[in-house]
A and B are shown apart, each in its own frame.
Chain A
Amino acid sequence: MSETALRLSPLYEAYREQVADWAVVNGMTLPRAFGRSGLPPVTLSDVSALARCGCKGPGAADWLVSQGVPVPAAFNSWTATENGLVARLAASEFLIEDARAERIETLTRELSKGRRSASGPCYPVLREDAALLLAGPQANEVLLQTCNIDFAGLDLATGPLVMTSMVGVSVLVIAQKRPTDVAYRIWCDPTFGCYLWRTLLEIVRELGGDAAVHTL
């Protein structure tokens, strides 16, 4: 099952015993279904299979623009792209995520050649993050139990991005406004992924929700 795909999600060990049906997305083994139906008040999904890369440096913003990647102007903000998103972390570091793996592979290849722009150099950042999606009307409740940030008070129109600590782990969080709710994307170091997943899932279940599959 997992031997066929080259890549495993950092969260694989946390949920593999609950999954019978697997799929391969972007070369990564992912659950096809968790076996629950209906609309739970809150769900937790593994979206680590989205392709991603990072770059940093004084020339990073300009270089990305030269590659046709839209760059948010404000520090700590993000912007949606056609198939993904671009996040500006602090001042001059970026996370680029795209459902199309080839796009990311192209960027990674170019970055590894040692890039510069007029503003200075741009360095590649390998990103093998654990990536989670927390969604549903009760999603904010999960955050209130785990994270000392007032997400409900954020102005989502400006696309804010928060780097903070959640249950003791450094995380990157954004909120995506959807028709019926707000969904939160959470990234963390892959070696903390299983711990974060298990901890959040326990709270999600207490609120009547469960793990779910998110179609990328």
Chain B
Amino acid sequence: MKRLPPQAGEWIDRGKPLRFTFEGIGYEGYAGDTISSALLAAGVRVLGRSFKYHRPRSVLSLANHDVNALMQVSSCFSVPNVRADVTPLAEGLRATAVNTIGGVARDRARFLEWLAPFLPVGFYYKAFHKKSQFPFWERVFRRTTGLGTVDFSARRKGSPKRYAFCDVLVIGGGPAGLAAADAALRAGARVALVDENPRLGGSGLYNLGGADGERQAEETRRLAAIAAAGAVVYVSSYAAGYYADHWVPIVTPGHVVKMRARAVVVATGAYEQPAVFRNNDLPGVILASAAQRMLARYSIAPCKRAVVLAANDDGYRAARDLAAHGVEIAAVVDLRGANSRGAVPPGTLVLEGHGIHEALADSQGALRGVRVAPLARDGTLDGYQAREFECDGLLMSTGWAGAAPLLYQAGARMEFSAELQQFVPAACPPGVYAAGRVNGVHGFAQKLRDGAAAGRAAAAQSRKPGSVDGAAPSCRQERAQSGMPSHPYPIFAHPKGRNFVDFDEDLQLKDFFNAAQEGFDNIELMKRYSTVGMGPSQGKHSNMNAIRVLAKILGRTPGEVGSTTARPMFHPVPMSHLGGRGFMPERATPLEGRHAAASAVWMPAGQWQRPEYYAVENQTREAAIRAEVAAVRGAVGVIDVGTLGKIELFGRDAGAFFERIYTAKFAGMKVGSTRYGLMLDESGVVIDDGVIARLGEEHFYFTTTTTGSATVYRELTRLNAMWRMEVGIVNVTGHFAAINLAGPRSREVLAPLTALDLSEATFPYLGAREAQVAGLPARLLRVGFVGELGYEIHVPASGAAHLWDQLMKTGAAHGIRPFGVEAQRLLRLEKGHIIVSQDTDGVTNALELGMDWALKMDKPFFVGQRSLEAMGRLPRKQALVGFTLDEPDTGMPKECHLVIESDEPAGRITSIAHSPAVGRVIGLALVAPALSKVGSTLNIRIDGGRMVRATVSETPFYDPKNLRQKQPETA
């Protein structure tokens, strides 16, 4: 291999030499080279070692359809599994082949090939049915087959994704894709064009066929310029997959673009397929298109003396390209019979009806010659009549497989065309169009016509969906003019084997026959048992041949055998691209800063962060919480309850609406009062609770639990979409802030801030008032909450901080303390208040809570009523009870510890805490009805299997008559 003289259109910039090393040896290439092309130009023959047998390998496709040249590449840090064929060369790059022991030249693992008879297909399924052997072998396998090493010092790189939008997305920048983009641009569509390569043009710029190709290249360049000027072009980028409604992630070098198109043209081309014969994997045996890429893009002669194995017109074009660059052609070997041959330079030997019996290796393991044999009537090669030809390059051009994963993912119906010997789309879903080789259209002029038709149809569809669907491709003529570009069976057995179908997995022809013999004779089973197509190339160069082999074994057509599912991603996508920027919404009340200033220790509550408690210097967490609790019971405390859901209900039917959604009665509520509300779902299960305030005849304002606000609002609006009552439902959860002032001194703290008469007579327990507080329009509710005199004050969110500051200021003289969620939980537990979704779960119904006073079954209808009625007739399954621990020192149960009765679970703890006011450990538990009577004993099993005893008791535990919150002057 050598570098040819400069030519127009080459991708390398000879003015910018780059130095790099491979396997420790220094080389020089140019900007524009890939790692492989630079090594080929330098005459390196072995670029890697194969996965299983460690055979020497070099380029096969030079198109990322194989991974023969897989390397570990270091610049600042080391990257494993770099595909050298398509990775740009950089100054100072250091590369080594992966999967070798001792380097690619003298890989010590190459002896594995001698063990091949003991490593048949699927041997690992059979060899390791005893666990004891596996750890040893696992270590051996990891050493001999592991690909690459991870560099943990690699810098973390974020690559934020971005959205993009277009009318027509054209995937593939070859002749068909460029023609489609041109047609779509002319039709006025916004076009985006994606191509894997650094430059547009595809095969239009390398599959030249000698001197004639200049016109083709010119036309390709013209179309490429139009695309570059009018479309948004992504080069060195690929479409990773097709997702519903024309959503295509485009992987660019820096980040992922999430493209939504109105129509998509898939012009992704085809993968050239290797022929299968003995030693078809030797360095020097390459696909014809790879040779053409070497010549046109990198100005590299693939060899000095070539043999071309052809079964189509492309093979002859490649032969002419070789000759045009001065490569000697020893012979063109045509698998087809007479009269199929294409044009060759004068004097070229063409052997029709012949094939390659065997490729021959030199002492390095690279190609030195081939044995060419005539084809017998049965399609096999007659080895006895073989002739030997010396060559250091063998080009294979025997067939294509459409690069159709995106079409499959889009739901196109594919069929096998016997004329083309290729799977092609029979019907594409609306808005998806195929063009070019993937559509079964080969030949330059045909591709341009096919692409233009697809582009026009896509543009029309994008303007008016449904105008043109992709059902029947109007490409019959173009396909007919393509001849038979793929040989039906370019696959030849040999007694000594080493005829490879899948180069990633080192799968030979006999492996498929063995797998079928073992019963894995269905394409899905064949794939998984043999692992064909499961390597890094994901079947790009191997699936079609595997289907052909299986078809032959079964005596069926490839169409009948079918194809396995092609899933995203088209090429491996780096995790850094997928990671991007993470968006995790955080919700905060307007008092966040005040809490932080008071040394709040935060705890998550859904998307919110709430103060768990406020840290005090030299005080433990428990002590700080106890102090907060004591402040509320003894003086006054203040807590931010702004995370509660808050909903306004207006309108003539507001009261009637409440009647239907809550269990209690609301229609007759007095204006200026509040009531507790329990909300059920249709099955009678408790889903939420809250306080409802009636602020006017047609104005209610109510709260929901923190986690329930969105769900409740959503369900209420859905119900009213059905019931069509005259109500207005407004979710003001974030727009109102709420602060609860609680404790015997709360009246004294609030009074200076408002003109509202706070006396017991004018603002009694369970009252609701609207008034100015601290200069802000406020709603005040007197509710049970923590069991002390208290006021829940709701103000517009922007005023919350001011209100908090004023309360703290006037409260200072009374010893006011902010208190957090832990203190609130304990204070409420002392009153026996439930926490929906802690003391209840997904199946706890209202009857089990012992809150019959809240269930007004005589109402005409409320959600859950009918189910409660049915369940009321059935035996109860559980009941929520309060309990106190008998002996405080035997151990502290936690939530969800079980109550055990007769060796069986009979309930569980839902809430538990030590109560300073009561002086005991108190809690709530859901228990079997037999244990629910006051005075019953509960045996609770705690960590370590120990049992502690508790007694069912009445609730509230503290101030059972609720005097402190109802009649604070008398309490």
Interfacial residues, chain A to chain B (CB-CB below 8 A):
2-3, 5-10, 12-13, 16, 28, 48, 56-57, 114, 120-121, 123-129, 141, 144-150, 152-153, 167-169, 189-192, 194-195, 199, 203, 206
Contact of B585 among A6, A13, A125, A167 (CB under 8 A): A167
Q: How far is the CA of A164 from the CA of B805 in the complex (A)?
A: 36
> From B257, which residue of chain A is reached at the shortest CB distance?
A144
On whether the beta carbons of B585 and A169 are closer than 8 Å, the reply is: yes
Q: How far is the CA of A8 from the CA of B590 in the complex (A)?
A: 8
Known: A3-B805, A6-B775, A192-B587. A114 touches B698 (CB 8 A): yes
User: CB of B151 within 8 A of chain A?
Assistant: no
Q: How far is the CA of A6 from the CA of B753 in the complex (A)?
A: 14
Known: A126-B736, A144-B164, A145-B162. A121 touches B593 (CB 8 A): no
CB of B595 to closest CB in A, whole Å: 10
Q: How far is the CA of A128 from the CA of B734 in the complex (A)?
A: 8
Contacts of A148 in B (CB 8 A): 163, 258, 260
On whether the beta carbons of B588 and A191 are closer than 8 Å, the reply is: yes
Known: A121-B650, A121-B728, A126-B796. A190 touches B584 (CB 8 A): no
On whether the beta carbons of B585 and A195 are closer than 8 Å, the reply is: yes
Additional A-B contact list (5), CB under 8 Å, known A147-B163, A190-B590:
A5-B802, A7-B802, A13-B588, A13-B592, A168-B585
Q: How many pairs of A and B residues are in contact by the CB < 8 Å rule? A: 127
Contacts of B651 in A (CB 8 A): 121, 123
**Chain B interface SS verdict (over half):** mixed
Interfacial residues, chain B to chain A (CB-CB below 8 A):
160-165, 190, 258, 260, 581, 583-590, 592-593, 608, 642, 648, 650-652, 696, 698-699, 726, 728, 730, 732-736, 775-776, 796-802, 805
Contacts of B796 in A (CB 8 A): 7, 126, 128
Known: A128-B734, A128-B796, A148-B258. A6 touches B590 (CB 8 A): no
Q: How far is the CA of A142 from the CA of B593 in the complex (A)?
A: 28
Task: Name 15 A/B residue pairs within 8 A (Cβ), A-sorted.
Answer: A7-B796, A12-B590, A28-B798, A121-B728, A123-B651, A124-B730, A126-B736, A144-B163, A144-B164, A167-B583, A168-B584, A190-B734, A190-B797, A195-B587, A203-B160
CB of A77 to closest CB in B, whole Å: 21
Contact of A145 among B160, B652, B735 (CB under 8 A): B160
* Most central of A123, A141, A147, A203 by chain B CB within 10 Å: A123
> From B695, which residue of chain A is reached at the shortest CB distance?
A112
> From A122, which residue of chain B is reached at the shortest CB distance?
B728
CB of B184 to closest CB in A, whole Å: 16
CB of A23 to closest CB in B, whole Å: 15
Known: A145-B161, A150-B260. A13 touches B593 (CB 8 A): yes
On whether the beta carbons of B801 and A121 are closer than 8 Å, the reply is: no
Known: A145-B160, A195-B585. A57 touches B798 (CB 8 A): no
On whether the beta carbons of A123 and B799 are closer than 8 Å, the reply is: no
Q: How far is the CA of A168 from the CA of B581 in the complex (A)?
A: 12
Known: A7-B798, A121-B726, A128-B735. A195 touches B162 (CB 8 A): no
On whether the beta carbons of A123 and B587 are closer than 8 Å, the reply is: no
Q: Which 9 pairs show the lowest CB-CB distances between chains A and B?
A: A123-B728, A150-B165, A7-B798, A189-B734, A191-B734, A168-B585, A123-B650, A128-B735, A128-B797
Known: A6-B775, A126-B796, A127-B735. A194 touches B165 (CB 8 A): no
> From A196, which residue of chain B is reached at the shortest CB distance?
B585
Contact of A152 among B165, B589, B798 (CB under 8 A): B165
Q: How far is the CA of A10 from the CA of B801 in the complex (A)?
A: 10
On whether the beta carbons of A10 and B650 are closer than 8 Å, the reply is: no
> From A114, which residue of chain B is reached at the shortest CB distance?
B698
Q: How far is the CA of A148 from the CA of B258 in the complex (A)?
A: 9
Contacts of B805 in A (CB 8 A): 3
Known: A123-B651, A145-B160. A190 touches B735 (CB 8 A): yes
On whether the beta carbons of A192 and B734 are closer than 8 Å, the reply is: yes
Contacts of A2 in B (CB 8 A): 801
On whether the beta carbons of B798 and A10 are closer than 8 Å, the reply is: yes
* Most central of B160, B163, B164, B190 by chain A CB within 10 Å: B163
CB of A129 to closest CB in B, whole Å: 8
Q: How far is the CA of A126 from the CA of B731 in the complex (A)?
A: 9
On whether the beta carbons of A195 and B260 are closer than 8 Å, the reply is: no
* Most central of A3, A120, A125, A128 by chain B CB within 10 Å: A128
On whether the beta carbons of B162 and A144 are closer than 8 Å, the reply is: yes
Contacts of A16 in B (CB 8 A): 593
Q: How far is the CA of A203 from the CA of B699 in the complex (A)?
A: 43
Q: How far is the CA of A133 from the CA of B135 in the complex (A)?
A: 61
Contact of A8 among B162, B728, B734, B802 (CB under 8 A): B802
On whether the beta carbons of A125 and B730 are closer than 8 Å, the reply is: yes
Q: How far is the CA of A124 from the CA of B581 in the complex (A)?
A: 38
Known: A150-B165, A168-B584, A195-B585. A123 touches B730 (CB 8 A): yes
On whether the beta carbons of A145 and B650 are closer than 8 Å, the reply is: no
On whether the beta carbons of A126 and B730 are closer than 8 Å, the reply is: yes
> From B796, which residue of chain A is reached at the shortest CB distance?
A128
Contacts of B165 in A (CB 8 A): 150, 152-153
CB of A161 to closest CB in B, whole Å: 18
CB of A207 to closest CB in B, whole Å: 11
CB of B166 to closest CB in A, whole Å: 9
Contacts of B797 in A (CB 8 A): 10, 128, 190-191
Contacts of A56 in B (CB 8 A): 728, 730
Contacts of A141 in B (CB 8 A): 162
Contacts of B799 in A (CB 8 A): 6-8
> From A7, which residue of chain B is reached at the shortest CB distance?
B798
CB of B527 to closest CB in A, whole Å: 36
On whether the beta carbons of A199 and B589 are closer than 8 Å, the reply is: no
CB of B464 to closest CB in A, whole Å: 16
* Most central of A5, A123, A191, A192 by chain B CB within 10 Å: A191
Contacts of B608 in A (CB 8 A): 191
Q: How far is the CA of A5 from the CA of B774 in the complex (A)?
A: 12
Contacts of A57 in B (CB 8 A): 650, 728
On whether the beta carbons of B585 and A192 are closer than 8 Å, the reply is: yes
Known: A13-B593, A123-B650, A128-B734. A194 touches B588 (CB 8 A): yes
> From B161, which residue of chain A is reached at the shortest CB distance?
A145
Contacts of A28 in B (CB 8 A): 798
Q: How far is the CA of A206 from the CA of B160 in the complex (A)?
A: 11
Contacts of A149 in B (CB 8 A): 163
On whether the beta carbons of B584 and A12 are closer than 8 Å, the reply is: no
Contacts of A189 in B (CB 8 A): 733-735
Q: How far is the CA of A168 from the CA of B775 in the complex (A)?
A: 35
CB of B763 to closest CB in A, whole Å: 21
On whether the beta carbons of B592 and A194 are closer than 8 Å, the reply is: yes
Contacts of B776 in A (CB 8 A): 6
Q: How far is the CA of A144 from the CA of B260 in the complex (A)?
A: 12
Known: A145-B581, A150-B260. A12 touches B163 (CB 8 A): no
Contacts of A13 in B (CB 8 A): 588, 592-593
Contacts of B585 in A (CB 8 A): 167-169, 192, 195
> From A92, which residue of chain B is reached at the shortest CB distance?
B728
> From B585, which residue of chain A is reached at the shortest CB distance?
A168
Contact of B587 among A126, A150, A191, A206 (CB under 8 A): A191
Q: How far is the CA of A7 from the CA of B795 in the complex (A)?
A: 11
> From B589, which residue of chain A is reached at the shortest CB distance?
A191
Q: How far is the CA of A195 from the CA of B585 in the complex (A)?
A: 7
Q: How far is the CA of A10 from the CA of B258 in the complex (A)?
A: 32
Contacts of A192 in B (CB 8 A): 585-587, 734
Contacts of B164 in A (CB 8 A): 144
Known: A13-B592, A190-B590. A8 touches B163 (CB 8 A): no
Contact of A6 among B258, B650, B736, B802 (CB under 8 A): B802
Contacts of A203 in B (CB 8 A): 160, 581
Q: How far is the CA of A115 from the CA of B65 in the complex (A)?
A: 70
CB of B196 to closest CB in A, whole Å: 23
CB of A59 to closest CB in B, whole Å: 10
Q: How far is the CA of A49 from the CA of B732 in the complex (A)?
A: 18
> From A55, which residue of chain B is reached at the shortest CB distance?
B728
On whether the beta carbons of A126 and B735 are closer than 8 Å, the reply is: yes
* Most central of B589, B736, B799 by chain A CB within 10 Å: B799
